[in-house]
A and B are shown apart, each in its own frame.
Chain A
Amino acid sequence: MKALNALFKFKGGVHPDYNKDLCRDQEIKTMPLPSVLKVSMSQHLGAPATPLVKKGDEVLRGQLIGDSSGFISASVHAPTSGKVVAVEPAATATGASCTAVSIEPDGEDKWIDGLKGIDNWENANKKDLVEAIANAGIVGMGGAGFPTNVKLSPPPEKKITTLIINGAECEPYLTADHRLMLEQAQKVWDGCRIIMKILEAEKIIVAIEDNKPEAIQAMEKVMEGTDLNASIAILATEYPQGAEKQQIFSTIGKEVPSGGLPMDVGAVVENVGTVTAIYDAIVKGLPLTERVTTVTGGVIAEPGNVVNRIGTSFQDLIDFCGGFKSKAAKVIAGGPMMGFAQANTATTTTKTTSGILCLGPEKACSYESMPCISCGRCVSACPMKLVPSELSQYLEAEDYEGAEEINVMDCIECGCCAFECPAKRPLVQHMRQGKAHVMIKRRAAQAKK
């Protein structure tokens, strides 16, 4: 298997300081069980799960504690065995509030009985495989948390031709996916084969940025001699290569239509972390209860890539990595470009927490809302080819209809515009507000019908 350079290049994009050296060479470590795990019912995109346990209940690892409610939702499982000590609202990583189940581990970490993988999955029924993935509560672990079983069940009229495995990890600082590909390449590849079996796509492309040569090598090795129509696409290191639409363009040269989904161009993109979770669910029958999170940033004493149970508090993870060596000014769930800044370190990890980034005061950039000087850097940087400066002026004037007309809904909130803005305007915040307003309006219009 020889990796080849990607044939296409999306317009726009930026080159932030990657700072991956902090933990790209840190082997994945497993964190011991913390004193309490607080598992949010909102681990994913869509409707929060309905809690199935109450205070005082005893649970076992892998036991269903939150039932998926609705089509776009995902089930939640107990990350360890122990006692439920609280079921109450808690702040999620985005600052919203959602019910969370707090579990005090009993230390035995006993799995629930009856978990069984699908033997000989190569010959299994497609439907059974998707169902097993749904039952394991797997969601997109790259960040958005879209329920994977929904993604893997495209309507019959949409023919999926290409499966793209997203190993770009274009967010600065984060190295969790990089380490996964490096240390567990075989597992990643087996997971890919399971998805190929489900989708019956014509080809599979593993997309990796060229700043991870070791990962590329490792994947080349395990993919050697496969009978699938497989290839590795080396992407130029540029943010946001890992954004779904941009990655599809880089690998197969097709633009996902505005307002559409990847399946509209016959593609499905799955994150590397998700792929390993799928492997565990199918081969071992294990629900998703842990993930690799990169704990990093200039103020962390010993940055590293840590396997932690869903529901571990940020503080526990930071302590496991040696704590703060100097005062932190900003704690971010995710990477610096799209992550969510946290009010405190009591937030707990979810299936989508790819990283915990702690920045000192000198790195915590601030927004000033100066007037736009029309330099046009945001226009050059926008990978969706929008005009962020103009949009932000519309949104500052609360002209949401005007903003909708010039495509505010196509914004992917990647942050390239605000990254480049010399006036330090809070462009992404404007876009988010605008998108929220337009969504409210659209929902109201739909309700009327």
Chain B
Amino acid sequence: MTEKTENKEASVQKLIVSSSPHAHSGASVRGIMLDVIIAMIPAMAASVFYFGLDAVRLLLACVAASVVTEVASRKLMARDKGIGDLSAVVTGILLAFNLPPSLPTWMAVVGSIIAIGIAKQVFGGIGYNPFNPALVGRVALLISFPVAMTTWSEWIIPNPIGIDAVSTATPLGLVKTSLGAGKGMPFVFDSATAWQFFMGHTNGCIGETSAFALILGGIYLLWRRCISWHVPVFYIGTVAVSAFLLKTLSPGTNMPVAYHLLAGGLMLGALFMATDMVTSPITKKGMAIFGIGCGLLTIIIRKWGGYPEGVSFAILIMNSITPLINRFTRPKIFGARKK
């Protein structure tokens, strides 16, 4: 039916007839996305606070490129409904959060195009993408431009002991190299440093450094029922427990637990990336399995993998088995008969 005839018919006072229910909670996809954006405001503020104009530049570039790509691809595929649901904005911000501050603008744009164009719209748009678009964008950039994606701003954490104060390392990368070479922790990681890390005054991608800001956002999401506690708690819990076990078994070659939690992208990943509705399981049990899987993979990649950071890959790998998790965690129905 065209819109014109619909309007004409509406003017003669016809009743609307639909299937029940005739009441609705008022929740909408747009509302959820708006909540996610609101939840990211503290982290955005932190990124601007610590990285200045670079953060603003990347955020703007990613959001603009994501929205433009979304509109263009919807048009290209002759599909209706575009950016009204704000999901492209969310993807743009998340991608920017995952970029180092010195990354050239054009690379951020390329990442956004890959995230929205390839990871999302090729699969049919919102709801159909098997992988978290922002993570796909980040990983594509990491593989395509490894140097730019691992070049960080000047060293801002305490001076490393015995190692050249390289400006091109994240805390995780630096420590991994040092531990791998059998030299122990390259700097003193005491409670003062931990607090500094927690607040976000450290090297890293623009949105991942401030655990404090991210947790604030996470609490907002929980309060608004946009995420359930299962994924973050099981994810972070698994990382903490495994890190503790590793540290206890071999204290000399492993990082402290708090370092695992605060020095990388874990908080951003566990609170904002792994909780992405589309690509994570729908049942509570499934979410728990998903979180544990992400946690184990993160630790494995960080400890034994080629990259210092494993959060992105861990979540992407778990994304791929989400349909399987859903299938095997279907709840037992009310009144299920014993077989």
Contact = CB atoms under 8 A, between A and B. Distances in A.
Interface of A: 10-11, 14, 16-17, 95, 172, 245, 249, 255-260, 327-332, 334, 336-344, 357, 359, 364-367, 370-377, 379-380, 383-387, 389-390, 406-407, 410, 413, 415, 418-424, 426, 428-429, 432
Interface of B: 13, 15-25, 27-29, 31-32, 81, 85, 124-128, 225, 228, 277-284, 287, 326, 330-337
Contact of A367 (B18, B23, B283, B336): B18
Query: DSSP class of B's interface residues: helix, strand, loop or mixed?
Result: loop
B209 to A, nearest CB: 29
B27 A422 contact: yes
A365 B22 contact: yes
B282 A374 contact: yes
B331 A422 contact: no
B28 A422 contact: yes
Contacts of A374: 127, 277-280, 282
A422 B22 CA distance: 14
Contacts of A249: 334
19 contacts: A14-B25, A16-B25, A17-B23, A95-B17, A330-B17, A330-B18, A332-B22, A336-B21, A337-B21, A365-B24, A370-B126, A370-B127, A373-B277, A373-B278, A387-B326, A389-B282, A415-B23, A423-B29, A432-B19
A340 B31 CA distance: 28
Contacts of A370: 29, 81, 85, 126-127
Nearest to B338: A257
Contact of B16 (A366, A410, A432): A366
Contact of B335 (A14, A258, A357, A379): A258
B23 A365 contact: yes
A367 B16 CA distance: 11
A379 B333 CA distance: 11
Contacts of A330: 15-18, 22
Given A371-B128, A385-B334, A341 B277 contact: no
Select the residue from B85, B127, B225, B284 with max chain A CB neighbours within 10 A. Answer: B127
B22 A341 contact: yes
A256 B284 CA distance: 24
Contacts of B16: 329-330, 341, 364, 366
- Closest 6 A-B residue pairs measured CB to CB? A371-B127, A415-B21, A376-B282, A429-B19, A336-B23, A422-B27
Contact of A385 (B13, B326, B332): B332
A390 B334 contact: no
A340 B228 CA distance: 34
Given A337-B21, A342-B17, A387-B330, A245 B127 contact: no
A424 B326 contact: no
Select the residue from B81, B278, B335 with max chain A CB neighbours within 10 A. Answer: B335
Contacts of A387: 282-283, 326, 330-331
B226 to A, nearest CB: 8
Nearest to A364: B16
B31 A343 contact: no
